[in-house]
Chains A and B, each alone.
Chain A
Amino acid sequence: MERIGDTRQEYTHLFDVYVPIAIAVFVVILTLVVFVVLRFRSSSREFPAGEESSRAAEGAYALVVGCVVAALLFLTYDSMSDIEASERQARGPRVDVTAAKWNWTFHYPDYGVTQLGSDRRPTTLVVPVDTPVRFRMTSIDVIHAFWVPAQRFKRDAFPARTTTFVLRFGREGFMQRAGECNQFCGLLHSSMDFNVDVVGKTEFRRWLRDKREAAG
């Protein structure tokens, strides 16, 4: 059973297969090109006769590439199923995200708590550690995107549309500007960040209670 909402783990699993294969293919082709150039470099003026094609070799080769493609897709689909299943199974706290030019608002609908920021002071997203947090997101103006590189995950925020996702934050701690807007959205796009504060589960409940009481 995968850990629900652990997008970082899903990413790392696939990365560890895709990237070594890509590097291996690059090295093989680089070696072949260098070898062929060194081996067959010649100032000879002849035009060598030789095979013009080999259906067997080409067919076998295409089959091998096709099998690699199929294997990669299998792993990708498997990972996608995990991510989709996490949306159905997650039972953690809900956060409503509203993106705007050029700041973020995080609203906790079950507790009536809202985190605000401004163009100059980034909003802080407070989440409990090791809990699948359920996000619903929209935008009030243009398209933005919610990206937390440490989670290896992003999703777009649209005006007049809701997108959803689930994230599980693995390590406690305050991360300055750990979240970024990842869809170009105009003048101050490059500074449309948010902080992420991952706190203990009891601390999270205490924080919500304090915020609610402070709001009256």
Chain B
Amino acid sequence: MTMAVAVPRRRGTVLDYVASTDHKRIGLATLGTALTFFFLAGALALLMRTELAHSGMQIVSKGAYNELFTIHGSTMFFLFAAPAALGVGIYFVPLQIGAADLVWPRLPLLGYWLFLGGGVVLWSGFLTEQGAADFGWFAFYPLSDSVNAPGTGADFWVLGVGLSQLGVLLMGISLLATIIRRRAPGMTLLRMPLFTWSEVATIFMVVTSFPVVLVAMVLLYVDRQGVHIFSEPGGAITWQHLFWFYAHPLVYVVFFPLVGAVGEVIATFSRRRFFGYSVTVLSLLAFAALSTSVWGHHMFTTQAVSNRFFSLTSTAIAVPAGIEYFAFIATMWGGRIRLGVPMLFALGFVLLFLIGGLSGIFVASPPLDYHVHDSYVVVAHFHYTLFGGTVFGLFTAIYYWFPKVTGRLLGETLGRWHAGLMFAGGLLTFIPMFFLGEEGMPRQVADYAPFHHWDTLNLLATIGAWTIFASLAVFLVNLFRSLLGGEPAGRDPWEGQTLEWVADSPPPRHNFDALPRVRSYAPLLDLRQRERA
């Protein structure tokens, strides 16, 4: 490998930053913006949990509470999780496949600005006279029509969702084209890193389902202007079909890339090749294929869909998901495991996401769903997939790749505190919700009657939420300490297996000066094993 010739870096102008087509800048901007929205939506969750700590209304009004959970859910999905899932790929997939840049780089750049603009529009609903949208993140018609939700904040919601999801779609298209056309010599499809494959499966879901949400938002916007679209008979059901056809693949989109990232962290920290690579790739693709035929399980209680069909497809998800778990454990088996901070988060992902997956099989059975649908059981279930999956997965990725992005390591001790507190908080917040839901507490309620005796369980959940807040405060301290003076990381602090660890940290504009030969999905592990042999 040759060393890069030192080129003096020109100080970037503002225009360089806002108009750069460097995938690393777009990816970092997307991740930074998404994380900002994550903290904003988390603050809304803290307000909600504090309100729910005791029965009776204490800190917000019922109307304000309805805005809080609507914008919390909408922000977490549309403005945090989906952009973050693609943003990690925009940054790291070109590095993993040995590319210098993206194909059609202006598309994701436009995508980023649409996402940011959509987010700002959605949140500016809080500044309008009637407040932000307050019809829940799925905006069921006719609660979202111009009669029931006349405010400007509701229009901003429709606009913001449409713009931001169009942005995510554009990022996905560019990334898929890059994967198809810009792979390093020797990198056949079945030599792509697992994370890159998980982005491929993710983008398949994005290009299938995201156009549908764009259509749905345009139709809802037009309907809200007084044109009869969803107000025709059957319109309420049609809205649910359109929305969930997008939103169920969406909930897989937001954790899928992180399954790949977690898999790579497990392999790297076990110092082994990922076990069952090709079967895992196949299961990711099967999972993605099934994702577009499970949306009706959100409609079991409507009497408008074939419950047997959607129960079959939704339960069958357990097979590809089970294969991924098999591969995780088999990779660790016989390895030389180091419990670095990325590995701790990866193990947290494996255990917490498992709770989400197992409870998912439960709610996929219609007679069980007839009780727990839209109850706190479902709130607990999907928070284990989103918090256990997306959030733990994203922090796995952040601790793993932060050294590549900044050239510095995040602190080990603070990282352990972050992981431990967040894991404890994740259990304490969401486990009580299973019991609350089973006992009959509905979701999306600002209050509950004292005679139910739900106060203790709710208080536990609230303490858990503040524990998560504390863990995130530790993360922010860790982040700023490392940015200001963290330990230099070098190119490859973890002895990684994939091509991004060949590049400098941070990588230069063109990423690579030279690439090793790619003979498998773990090219750097090949090199090391040959050196030692």
Known A-B contacts A40-B332, A142-B143; A80 and B367 likewise in contact (beta carbons under 8 Å): yes
Q: Are B366 and A145 in contact (CB under 8 A)?
A: no
Complex partner residue of A33 from B319, B347, B366, B448, CB under 8 angstroms:
B347
Residues of A within 8 A of B326 (CB): 57-58, 61
For residue B281, give the distance in angstroms from its CB to the closest CB of chain A.
11
B371 contact from A11, A19, A48, A69, Cβ within 8 A: A11
Asked whether B339 lies within 8 Å of A37 as measured between CB atoms, the reply is yes
A18 at interface by CB-CB < 8 Å: yes
B365 to chain A, nearest CB (A): 4
Interface string of A3-30 (1 = CB under 8 A from B): 0000100110011001100100110011
In the complex, the answer to whether B236 meets A161 with C-beta atoms within 8 Å is yes
Bound Cα distance from A53 to B451, whole angstroms: 56
A66 lies within 8 A of chain B by Cβ? yes
Check if B371 sits within 8 Å of A154, measured CB to CB: yes
List the A residue with the shortest CB-CB distance to B443.
A184
Q: Which residues of A contact B329 (CB under 8 A)?
A: 29, 32-33, 36
A57-80 near B? 1/0 per residue, CB < 8 Å: 110011001101100110011011
Q: Indicate if the CB atoms of A62 and B143 lie closer than 8 Å.
A: no
Q: Would you give the shortest CB distance from A189 to chain B, in whole angstroms?
A: 7
List B contacts of A160 (CB < 8 A). 233, 236
Give the chain B neighbours of A213 by CB distance below 8 A: none
**Docked pose: A37 CA to B273 CA in angstroms:** 17
Given A40-B337, A46-B271, A161-B236, answer yes or no on A190-B445 (Cβ-Cβ < 8 Å). Answer: yes
* Interface residues of chain B: helix, strand, loop or mixed (majority): helix
Scoring B residues 324 to 341 as 1 if CB is less than 8 Å from chain A, else 0, what string do you get?
A: 011001101111111100
Q: A55-B279, A143-B236 are in contact. Are A83 and B367 (CB under 8 A)?
A: yes
Please tell me if the beta carbons of B312 and A73 are within 8 angstroms of each other in the complex: yes
Interface contact B279-A22, CB-CB below 8 Å:
no
Measured CB to CB, the nearest residue on chain B to A52 is: B273
Minimum CB distance partner of A8 in chain B:
B371
The interface centre, meaning the residue of B275, B303, B371, B451 with most chain A CB atoms within 10 A of its CB, is B371
Interface residue tally on A, bucketed by range = 35 or more
Report the minimal beta-carbon distance from A87 to chain B, rounded to whole angstroms. 10
What 0/1 pattern do residues 421 to 464 of B give for CB contact below 8 A with A? 00000000000000000011011111111010000000000000
Whether A170 is near chain B, meaning CB under 8 Å from some CB there, is no
* 27 A-B residue pairings within 8 Å (CB atoms): A15-B368, A18-B362, A18-B365, A18-B368, A36-B332, A36-B337, A37-B347, A40-B336, A42-B337, A44-B336, A53-B278, A73-B311, A79-B365, A143-B143, A155-B303, A155-B370, A156-B303, A158-B237, A159-B236, A163-B302, A182-B374, A184-B443, A184-B444, A185-B143, A187-B62, A187-B66, A189-B66
A: residues with CB less than 8 A from B are 7, 10-11, 14-15, 18-19, 22, 25-26, 29-30, 32-33, 36-37, 40-55, 57-58, 61-62, 65-66, 68-69, 72-73, 76-77, 79-80, 83, 141-143, 145, 147, 149-150, 152-156, 158-161, 163-164, 176-177, 180-191, 193
Using A48-B336, A190-B447 as known contacts, list a sample of 4 further A-B pairs with CB atoms less than 8 Å apart, ordered by residue number in A. A52-B273, A149-B371, A186-B148, A190-B445
